[in-house]
Structure 1
Amino acid sequence: MPAWRKSSKCGNATCVEVARVGEDTYLIRDSKQPEAPALSFTKEEWVAFVDGVRDGEFQF
Structure 2
Amino acid sequence: MASWRRSTHCAHSSCVEVATLPDGSVLMRDTAGVVLSHSRDVWSQFLIAAKRGDFRSR
Aligned length: 57
SS of alignment partner, residue 56 of structure 2: coil
CA drift of 1:23 comes to 3.9
Which consecutive aligned stretches of 4+ in structure 1 deviate over 3 angstroms post-superposition? none
Write out per-residue CA displacement over residues 3-48 of structure 1, whole angstroms, 9 at most, x where no aligned residue: 0000111112311000000142000001x23xx4510000000000
1:58 corresponds to: 55
Structure with bigger strand share is 1
1:28 is aligned with what amino acid?
Answer: M
CA RMSD of aligned residues (A): 1.3
TM-score after normalising by structure 2:
0.86
Q: What SS does the corresponding residue of 2:48 show, helix, strand or coil?
A: helix
For structure 2, which runs of at least 5 residues remain unmatched after alignment?
none
In structure 2, give the amino acid aligned to 1:10. Answer: C
- Unaligned stretches of 5+ residues in structure 1: none
